[in-house]
Structure 1
Amino acid sequence: MHVLSRRGFTAFALALPFAATAQGALPAGPITMIVGWPAGGPSDNVARLTAQRMAEALGQSIVIDNKGGAGGNIGTDAAARAKPDGSTIMLATVASHGLNSALYPKLNHDPIKDFAPIGMITTSPSVLLVPTGSPFRSVADLLAAARAAPGKLNYGSGGVGSSQHLAGASFKKLTGVDVTHIPFKGTAPAMTDLMAGRVDFVLTTGAMSFIRSGKLRPLAVAAQQRLPALPEVPTFEEAGVKGFTTDSWYGLVAPAGTPRAALDKLNAALATALRNPEVQKQFLDQGSLPVQPMGVDAFWRFVQHQMPLAAEQVRVSGAKAE
């Protein structure tokens, strides 16, 4: 009978966890999904719907860990430092993997080198929203008021570097109006102040529940065509603002070094979730646009392709980390 030396046995014992991980692709126990934005906002809504359906496909629970602040950078930093074994994943957005690299002079992570791809979830154009008590019934009304009293109107965002911040800065630059940016610590508090009338308008995604409940009024959609969820709301092009579109995308990434087997298994679970008709309906109802499941490599090519485009949007908009 062959007997292992002490050194050989030690090497064999140390290899056991890695062999088990490779065989099972993912470690046992709950998976943590880091979301760099507070609970209740559009990013959090996308994350929770995705996590629920992916958990069903995996037969493994996924726990949401909201780490809001610094335009999503706090959560992104935490995800970059997490153990790369498939037990931690992160909701990636146009902010974490695009805008922030151009907005902030220095980041504590590299959005490409420090992460590995899992897959795309959905895309969502911004909607210009005002309180139901607002006197503005159209984009033309809002622009007329802004031009009549420069600096008086304001727009809210989920924080410096958020998609709402960039959309508002782009809208301001494109239309030539002087409106004041008010950054909040997440989209949810910005929406609270918008509904209370303390904020004049917000350009955001994921606000369908507020619209349907009559708490907010949509004036225009920053898309090339009207949204299925808001067929009566014009695009900005139709409202007289030419060339204003936004595309907030959501995907999943893991820390760099996560085994390919784990990435592939997570990607397969995501694809199963996205093919679910109920998930597709929920995304449409939220004002998002479902996407065809995208492989690991195709998703990473998309991310790397859109990063310089996002940086150019920041440059053109004039937005800065305040």
Structure 2
Amino acid sequence: MKRLHVLTALLWFGIVFGSVNAAPPSYQELHADPGRALPMQPTWQLQPVDARARPWGDIFAFTIGIAPNLIERLRWLSLNPGKESELAPALFDALEGRTLFLSPTARSFCDGRWQVVRQEYLSLNPALQPLLKVWLVERKPGGGLRTTTAHGRIDAQGQWAVPPVTCDGKDTNSIDSAAALSYLMPEESRQVTSDLHVDTVYAQPGMRDARDQWLPPVPPRDITTTQWMDYKKQIVTPGSSGSGVIDARGKMVIPFIFGNLPDVTAQRRIQLCTSVGLDVQRHAGTPRVCRWQRLSGKHGGGALRPAKDEKTGRWGYQNAKGQWMIAPQFYEARRFRHGYAVVSGAFPEDWRPPGWQDHWPMIRKFHRMGRYWVAEALVRNASTDGQWAIRIGLMNDAGQWLTPVLQPALHITVPFAPSGRSSHYAQMLASHLPNLLGRNVQVDNLPSATEADYRRLTTEGGSSKVLLAAMTLPRGGIKGVHKGPQIDALLQSLLPVTLLASQPLVLVADSTKADTLGIHSTDDLLAYARAHPGSLRIGTGDDGWPGHLAFAQFRALSGIDVQRVVFKGMYPDSGVITKEHAVDLLFAPVNAVAVAVRRGQLRVLGTTADQTHPQHFDGTTWPTLAASTSLAGFVAYDRFSLWAPANSDAASNRILQEAVAQVLAKPEVRKHLQDLGAVGGGGSPDSLLELEKEEHERWMRALSPSVP
């Protein structure tokens, strides 16, 4: 056949960077439909953030959740992604620089009875082992589904050291396991030295590099901003108060965030003090640093007197007639001096230092953890539901902030119009893989793919992990049979992932003519063909397709003389018999002849399936051609297999292979494949290479001594 047909027989899977746009199911939706799993990203990567534009809200996404006195021995950071996040909870190993997540193979256990449909968050048990909270769906032995939530513990490979529940649904929290991951570093571990160091300005910590240059975020040098950050970092509770300064119009000049301030002096300046040191919990012994701040304003307020409103208990300022000139609103109020007054009031929740942006982090502490620096900060981001909360940021020794990124979306590109079996299998994967791969899967049709397209997709990809599915084996075809553009070397460079599915062909005969000739079975056919050499005509598609292989095997194994009639394309339509009467027999897939078989126009004499997987149709089991003694070993399948480019990531290829195996193991998918007359794959990459070798040998035997 021409190589153009080889090209259009390929399913291409290309992973491109893009966000996951589909809304995850809500709690209510999971309750109503527990089988609707949330896409759970199995792994996440860290990437340096552009130093010119840092999205601080994305950087501070980790938690520690451990006693402060143990921080120096920490090894693992937790990623708790927040409500409705596409990211699944995961752990980052600051000693080895690797990520750890729930393995795809651990997302079902007890032989598939329990399925993880959602990962909630990571917490710690008393033994300092991470507890992973998950939503589970149980497939009950008698049928039906139910949901539950539970906590489990994983090992260093992401497998269950202690599953969330036992197979019969009992809680496992009390089960001990030495294999469960611990947050702490081994006793012999030592922190790795670094050229970066921690420095402070007014107790606000920052990082300096070897040249003593500040790394963002740089601590503020304004003592008012520093005090406000210090107050906020202690997570101000409702009703908190502080001292500040107002002018004669009642306008706040210094926010109410300081301790007991002295009165303004004749020089119109005031001493502002803030606590210093790295201890967030302030006490009487905490040292302070002070700075004089000059006040530049007009005279006024001398005629005003502080007064207390008996109804509200608040203080304000009245004139000589007892009229309120500044409404009572303060907890305490002092006399005006030189145009200013010190007052005490509620902490100004809405006040921000000039130029402040709320997405900036407020660093509380820097810690050295293994090979990295972690910054504990007060932040507001998506993972905190818009509230101020403590989160952790991660920095490497190059001074780069690292942020977790979503797995890129998986695009399944089918190089022809959306129809046929290739597109059908692509859509089948797209409907099941997101919940296993943790990313959206989209089918893109590309009817006019060129040789340049295939060259790019077979040789490029790398970290983007471009993947493809080819219908025919062996890759590159058979010399002397497959002709066309020279892409053999490109196809041979691909790396195996897994076999997706195999579909056999059927050998059908014109029912009317078969009755006339007395052909009701494979053996009848062989007997007639031997008695009447060259009288029967068999239709197949172009050279190189499985129909050609089926014919070549049929003739080589049986030794009979039949005529092959070649029709353009992969397979001829049933009309070549039922309408045109151009041939007597036909090799074709089931979908090409199903209607004519149901109408009684065509009779199935046998299938090209392996005898261990006979084909069923409308409640009838069709015989296999291999069941005939003369055709022992006869097998011919359309193969749908997954491959990856030579520079693809082996770990990601393995994740895909495991995910496909889980898809093919689902009862509804097994039933669907059975209805299609297909046999599911899902095996290892090595088994795919072995199958390719077998297919090559099968072609060689069928075509020997010459190509028909």
Pairing 1:176-255 to 2, within 5 Å after superposition: 176-196=559-579, 197-207=581-591, 209-210=594-595, 213-214=598-599, 216-222=602-608, 223-225=610-612, 227=614, 229-230=616-617, 231-248=620-637, 249-255=639-645
Q: Would you say how many aligned residue pairs link Structure 1 and Structure 2?
A: 295
Aligned residues of 1:131 and 1:217 also touching (Cα < 8 A): yes
144-153 vs 248-257, which deviates more?
Answer: 144-153
1:285 correspondence with 2:675: yes
Partner residue of 1:308 out of 681, 693, 706 = 693
Amino acid at match of 2:467: I
TM-score (normalizing by structure 2): 0.36
Q: Is it true that 1:115 corresponds to 2:494 in the alignment?
A: yes
Moved more, 111-120 or 48-57: 48-57
Q: What is the distance in 2 between the residues matched to 1:257 and 1:266?
A: 16
- Partners in 1 of 2:576 and 2:453 — Cα distance? 24
Please give the alpha-carbon distance, in whole angstroms, between the structure 1 residues aligned to 2:448 and 2:523. Answer: 38
Matched, 1:31 2:415: no
1:274 counterpart = 2:675? no
Q: What is the CA–CA distance in structure 2 between the aligned matches of 1:241 and 1:194, rounded to whole Å?
A: 26
Residue 186 of structure 1 and its aligned partner are, at CA, apart by: 3.2
CA distance in 2 between counterparts of 1:28 and 1:53 reads: 14
Q: Which one of the candidate residues 126, 146, 152 is aligned to 2:529?
A: 146
- The answer to whether the 8 A contact 1:33-1:88 is kept is no
Greater RCO (Cα-Cα under 8 Å, separation 6 or more): 1
Contact kept in structure 1, 2:509 and 2:604, CA below 8 Å: yes
Check the 8 A contact 1:31/1:88 in 2, yes or no.
Answer: no
Change (3 A) 1:260 1:315: closer
Alpha-carbon distance in structure 2 between the residues aligned to 1:217 and 1:46 = 28
Aligned-pair distance for 1:165?
A: 0.6
Secondary structure at 2:692's aligned position in 1?
helix
Q: Distance in 2 between matches of 1:198 and 1:74?
A: 38
Distance 1:262 1:225, change over 3 A: closer
Q: How far apart, CA to CA, are the structure 2 residues paired with 1:272 and 1:154? A: 43
Ranges in structure 2 where 5+ consecutive residues have no aligned partner: 1-213, 217-401
Residues 225 and 309 (structure 1), Cα distance of their counterparts in 2 relative to 1, 3 Å cut: closer
Structure 2 CA distance, aligned partners of 1:126 and 1:110? Answer: 29
Give me the whole-angstrom Cα distance separating, in 2, the residues matched to 1:321 and 1:78: 33
* Contact kept in structure 2, 1:47 and 1:91, CA below 8 Å: no
Aligned partners of 2:472 and 2:640 also within 8 Å: yes
Aligned in 2, Cα 1:95/1:274: closer, same or farther, shift over 3 Å?
A: same
Answer 1 or 2: which has greater helix percent: 1
* CA deviations over 1:145-194 (Å, ceiling 9, x no partner): 43344334332333211111111101011111222333334335444434
Equivalent AA in structure 2 for residue 229 of structure 1:
H
Tell me the SS of whatever aligns to 2:657.
helix
Correspondence for 2:505: 126
Which AA in structure 2 matches 1:116?
Answer: L
| Deviation readout 1:200-248 (Å, 9 max, x if unpaired) | 3233444384476335421113322462515542233544434142152
The 1:30–1:314 alpha-carbon spacing in structure 2 relative to 1, beyond 3 Å, is closer
2:454 and 2:479 map into 1 onto residues whose CA distance is 12
8 Å contact from structure 2 (residues 540, 572) kept in 1: no
Q: CA RMSD in A?
A: 4.0
Distance 1:55 1:131 in 2: 45
Structure 2: how far apart are the matches of 1:88 and 1:61?
A: 13
Cα distance 1:219–1:108, how it changes in 2: closer, same or farther (>3 A)? same
Q: Give the partner amino acid of 1:118.
A: V
CA positional deviation for 1:280 = 0.8
Residues 31 and 60 in structure 1, CA contact (< 8 A), matched pair in contact too: yes
Give the number of the structure whose alpha-carbon radius of gyration is greater. Answer: 2
Q: What CA distance in whole angstroms lies between the structure 2 residues aligned with 1:205 and 1:74?
A: 31
In structure 2, distance between residues paired with 1:309 and 1:166? 13
After the TM superposition, which of the residue ranges 165-174 and 154-163 deviates more from structure 2?
A: 154-163
Structure 2 CA distance for aligned equivalents of residues 65 and 150 of structure 1 = 45
| Alignment partner, residue 14 of structure 1 | none
Tell me the residue number matched to 1:60: 441
Residue type of the alignment partner of 1:31: I
Counterparts of 1:38-77 in structure 2, within 5 Å, are: 39-40=419-420, 45-54=424-433, 58-65=439-446
Unaligned runs of 5+ in 1: 4-18
Query: Shift in Å at residue 287 of structure 1?
Result: 1.4
Show the counterpart of 1:12.
none
Amino acid corresponding to residue 217 of structure 1 in structure 2: R
Taking the aligned partners of 2:700 and 2:463, their CA distance within structure 1 comes to 37
Instruction: Say if 2:475 and 2:492, in contact at 8 Å, map to a contact too.
Output: no
